[in-house]
Amino acid sequence: LFDETSQILQDLQNKGWITSTIHPRDLAIALLSLVNGAVLMWFIAPSHVSLPSLADSMAQIVMNGIRST
């Protein structure tokens, strides 16, 4: 899973679509950890975690960060 995700991220880096300052394997681990953590939280407390809403928020965080604009 890490290898496939790393390759996809490296392809995106090569196209200039995402930062190339972070190694693609590190990006893969970070992104997969974020997703796994969200799914775990939903699994543990589904009445408190809206997976669709969280997925949208996570996508915004990944693409834009958490820094104030």
pLDDT, one tens digit per residue, over 55-67 is: 999 999 998 888 8
CA dihedral 12, 37, 58, 53 (to 10 degrees): 140
Nearest CA among 48, 50, 8, 56 for reference residue 28: 8
- How far does Cα 22 stand from its chain's mean position? 14
With beta carbons less than 8 A apart as the criterion, state whether 5 and 31 touch. yes
Condensed to tens digits (0 to 9), the pLDDT of residues 35-59 reads 999 999 999 999 999 999 999 999 9
pLDDT at residue 27 is higher than 80: yes
